[in-house]
Amino acid sequence: MKHILIICQYFYPEQFRINDMAFEWVKRGYKVTVVTGIPNYPEGKFYPGYGWFKNTEETVNGVEIHRIPLIARGNGKLGLIMNYFSFPFFGFWWSLFTRIKADEVFMFETSPMNQCKVGVRYARKHKIPCYLYVQDLWPENVEMITGIHSPIVVKPIERMVRKIYKGCTHIWGTSPSFVDGIRKYVDDKEKDKVSFWPQYAEEFYQPLPKVEHKGFNVIFTGNIGQAQGLEILPFAAKIIREQGIKNIRFTIVGDGRARKSFEESITKNGVWDMFEFAGRVQPKEVPGLLAKGDAAFISFADDELFAKTIPAKLQSYMACAMPIIASAKGETARIIKEADCGMCSSIGDAEELAFSIITMSKMAQERIAEMGQNALSYNKSHFDKKTLMDEMDKYLK
């Protein structure tokens, strides 16, 4: 039985796709061990029942989970910095003394990238393959979040990224643009070890019978963070109201660090009566909530990094046969156009976004349903879980 050691700062009960991948590998006959941190994403504080010395070892769906200490993200930049450095720090000491013996390492990289130093070090010490699945591009992600572009800061991060990539047997990016971005930091003779492997939606993401509701309901699900750029939505809502249209509503499912600024934008534009917050829910509840909507919403902050991104929620929406309204560009805009499953406006253009929402709200129900079915078909053709996991097996076996 092959033993996969997953290194990821975030894992169940935090909600990331690596959870489903780990559980699937157990079903496929692998032994799976996860080394992760104490759950605190996205609220920034430890989940109830967890702490430095509380619930550090558990087994979930056959996956053995080992939690090492870290500092919670908090709500400020200092807390986030401490969080980013604490996991690899404690991971270094874990790697010195652990008795876990695995056949291969798999790293699921969301920021911070330096968490991967733990997996690369373990793989090198035990002379085993080391695989990396990149969700966030570094140093681009750091530059976007901090606004710092000084070589004094960026160059050391680039050296760290090159060293991590050098220590990997194979690397996957979540979009073709990510593959190009990763290859910039890989030696010419090793560029073939970088390939595209998109995220998939878990099986519970599927179309459900529509629930009757009043008006045209646009639903957003997921993290409310700086990267999502949701502040544009209240501005679009104000434009919609000024045009005398009263049947459009917005449902926000989720929570995050930027919720306060998002709510302030709603207040500033005087459109609270057009918004409803459902709060943070379990992923399995999302399809039922989407069934109460007419379209699903995706947006990004205005940064070139997000032009390269295929957000995980895109696959989730498509798997639920949802027409999509997006304020996006690059990979997301390309997929929506290829699939003919929605409307996409320029990032930051509230007037264009308002036009898209109004236009879809006035479409015939047959056309809206057709876009939903197009989304579902595209998802089955390009993001099918079994096909993708079978492809991954070729490397792991």
Quote the tokens at residue 174: 């979540």
| The domain made up of 216-382 is a member of CATH 3.40.50.2000 | yes
18 near 6, Cβ under 8 Å? yes
The pLDDT value given to residue 228: 84
The pLDDT value given to residue 32: 98
The pLDDT value given to residue 76: 81
CA distance 182 to 162: 9
Q: Dihedral of CA 280/267/333/215: which sign?
A: positive
203 near 23, Cβ under 8 Å? no
| Phi, psi for residue 44 in degrees, rounded to 5 | 90, 10
Instruction: Supply angle C-alpha 280, 209, 334, rounded to 5.
Output: 70
For the chain, what is the total number of helices (H) and then of strands (E)?
Answer: 15, 14
- 347: which residues sit within 8 A by CB, 6+ positions away? 229, 232, 299, 300, 301, 302, 306, 327, 328, 329
The pLDDT value given to residue 227: 74
| The domain made up of 3-197 is a member of CATH 3.40.50.2000 | yes
The pLDDT value given to residue 92: 95
The identity of residue 53, as a single letter, is: F
Burial 61-97 (b: 16+ CB within 10 A, else e): eebbbbbbbbbbbbeeeebbebbbebbbbbbeebbee
- Span(s) in the chain for CATH 3.40.50.2000: 3-197, 216-382
Q: Tell me the pLDDT of the chain (397 aa) as tens digits.
A: 999 999 999 999 999 999 999 999 999 999 999 999 999 998 889 999 999 999 999 999 999 999 999 999 988 888 888 999 999 999 999 999 999 999 999 999 999 999 999 999 999 999 999 999 999 999 988 887 777 788 888 999 999 999 999 999 999 999 999 999 999 999 999 999 999 999 999 999 999 999 988 899 999 998 888 778 889 999 999 999 999 999 999 999 998 888 989 999 999 999 999 999 998 899 999 999 999 999 999 998 888 888 899 999 999 999 999 999 999 999 999 999 999 999 999 998 999 999 999 999 999 999 999 999 999 999 999 999 999 999 999 999 8
CA distance 394 to 131: 13
